[in-house]
Amino acid sequence: MKASTFVYPWDVNGDPEAAARIAGLGVQQATLASAYHSTRALTPRHPRHRIVTAEHAAVLYPTDSRWDGRALRPYAAGDWAPGDAFGEAAEALAAAGLDVHTWVVLAHNSRLGAEHPDTSVVNAYGDRYPWAPCIAQPATRAYLVDLAVEAALRPGAAGTELESLGWYGLQHLHAHDKTGGVPLGDAGMYLMALCFCGTCRAGYGDQGLDADALAAAVRAALEPLWQGAPDDGGWAGVEKLLGAGTAAATRAWRDEIARTLQETAVRAVRAAAPEGFRILLHADPVTYHVGANPGVDPEHILSVADGVVVPCAGGPELLTAFARARADAVVAANFPVVSAMGGSPGTLAADMARAKESGASEVRLYHAGLASDGDLEAVRSALAGR
Residue-wise pLDDT tens digits, 118-131: 999 999 999 999 99
Cα(131)–Cα(109) distance, rounded to whole angstroms? 5
The residue type found at 237 is G
Cα(316)–Cα(307) distance, rounded to whole angstroms? 16
Question: Is 328 a domain residue?
Answer: yes
Q: Report whether pLDDT(106) > 80.
A: yes
Cα(172)–Cα(39) distance, rounded to whole angstroms? 12
- Note the pLDDT of residue 221: 94
The residue type found at 75 is Y
What percent of the chain shows pLDDT beyond 90? 92
| Buried-exposed string 7-24: b where 16+ CB fall within 10 A, e elsewhere | bbbbbbbebeebbebbbe
Question: Is 276 a domain residue?
Answer: yes
H helices present in 27-137, as ranges: 85-95, 110-115
- For the segment 265-290, what is each residue's pLDDT rounded down to a tens digit? 999 999 999 999 999 999 999 999 99
Banded model confidence at residue 175, pLDDT cuts 50, 70, 90: low
- Note the pLDDT of residue 179: 66
Q: What is each CA distance from 25 to 99, 205, 296, 377, 383, in whole angstroms?
A: 14, 53, 32, 8, 7
Banded model confidence at residue 231, pLDDT cuts 50, 70, 90: confident
Q: Report whether pLDDT(98) > 90.
A: yes
Structural domain of residue 353, as residue ranges? Answer: 2-178+254-384
Banded model confidence at residue 178, pLDDT cuts 50, 70, 90: low
Tell me the angle at which helices 234-242 and 211-226 cross, rounded to the nearest 10 degrees: 120
The residue type found at 160 is T
Q: Report whether pLDDT(52) > 80.
A: yes
What percent of the chain shows pLDDT beyond 70? 97
Q: How do 58-59 and 29-36 pair as beta strands?
A: antiparallel
Q: Report whether pLDDT(232) > 90.
A: no
Q: Report whether pLDDT(2) > 90.
A: yes
Question: Is 208 a domain residue?
Answer: no
- Note the pLDDT of residue 174: 61
The mean pLDDT of 339-347, rounded to a whole number, is 96
Cα(296)–Cα(284) distance, rounded to whole angstroms? 6
- Note the pLDDT of residue 60: 98
- Note the pLDDT of residue 183: 78
Question: Is 195 a domain residue?
Answer: no
- Closest listed residue to residue 369, CA positions, set 36, 2, 1: 36
Q: Report whether pLDDT(172) > 90.
A: no
- For the segment 133-146, what is each residue's pLDDT rounded down to a tens digit? 999 999 999 999 99
- Note the pLDDT of residue 318: 98
Question: Is 234 a domain residue?
Answer: no
Q: How many CA atoms lie within 13 A of 322 on its CB side?
A: 38
- Note the pLDDT of residue 173: 63
Banded model confidence at residue 385, pLDDT cuts 50, 70, 90: confident
Report the DSSP beta bridge partners of residue 363: 3, 333
- Note the pLDDT of residue 92: 98
Question: Is 225 a domain residue?
Answer: no
Per the structure, the count of domains in the chain is 1
What 3-state class would DSSP assign to 277?
Answer: coil
- Note the pLDDT of residue 171: 78
Q: The domain that contains 275 carries what CATH number? A: 3.20.20.80
- Note the pLDDT of residue 176: 62
Q: Report whether pLDDT(180) > 90.
A: no
Mean pLDDT computed over every residue of the chain: 96
Q: Is the peptide bond before 176 cis (omega within 30 degrees of 0)?
A: no
Question: Is 243 a domain residue?
Answer: no
- For the segment 352-365, what is each residue's pLDDT rounded down to a tens digit? 999 999 999 999 99
Lowest mean pLDDT among 52-56, 76-80, 149-153, 231-235: 231-235
Cα(283)–Cα(272) distance, rounded to whole angstroms? 23
State the pTM of this model. 0.96
Question: Is 198 a domain residue?
Answer: no
Q: Where are the beta strands (DSSP E) in 245-327?
A: 278-282, 307-311
Q: Which DSSP symbol is given to 116?
A: -
Find the farthest-apart pair of alpha carbons in the chain and give their distance in angstroms, rounded: 60
Cα angle: 364, vertex 368, 374; to 5 degrees: 115
